[in-house]
Each structure stands twice: as structure tokens, then as C-alpha cells.
């Protein structure tokens, strides 16, 4: 099975030629979701599996307040 990576913004999209939506979900999306879920700062994981591709989006929790800008910045 050939693989092609495409990355746009914060989302990763991965295409798999000839794979059914079920194969993409079980062999790609679920595996990646399980790995990503182990990251402490992950808030929400969503995925869409279609024939030949999976799209997974991850939202992270902000755990520290951003540093304030220095005066005059």
C-alpha cells in the first residue's frame, strides 16, 4: 500500500491508496489516536476515516499562562 503525507495547518492528513474506510480507521486512525491520547496536554482528539485517508485533529490544553509582554512592547 503506498502512502502520501499531506500536512495543512495544525491538522495532519494521511492518504493510503486502495484502503477501505474500515481499514484506515482500524490500522491508521485508531493507532494514532491511542498514541496521541497518551500526551498529557491533549484535550480533544477527533478523526474522520474515509476510503484511502484519515484526518485527525488534536486540541491541546493550555497549562501555563502566557508570559506578559514587557512594558512598551
53 and 20 Cβ atoms separated by less than 8 Å: no
Residues 9-24 have a mean pLDDT of 73
pLDDT digits 0-9 by tens, 34-49: 999 999 889 999 999 9
Listed range (8-17, 22-31, 36-45) with the worst mean pLDDT: 8-17
Across the chain, mean pLDDT equals 80
Distance CA 12, CA 57 (A): 7
CA dihedral 31, 25, 51, 16 (to 10 degrees): 10
Residue with cell 482500524: 26
Amino acid at each position: 500500500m503506498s502512502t502520501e503525507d499531506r500536512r495543512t495547518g495544525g491538522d495532519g492528513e494521511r492518504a493510503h491508496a486502495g484502503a477501505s474506510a474500515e481499514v484506515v480507521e482500524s490500522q491508521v486512525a485508531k493507532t494514532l489516536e491511542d498514541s496521541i491520547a497518551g500526551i498529557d496536554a491533549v484535550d480533544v482528539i477527533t478523526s474522520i476515516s474515509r476510503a484511502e485517508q484519515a484526518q485527525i485533529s488534536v486540541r491541546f490544553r493550555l497549562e501555563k499562562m502566557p508570559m506578559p509582554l514587557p512594558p512598551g512592547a
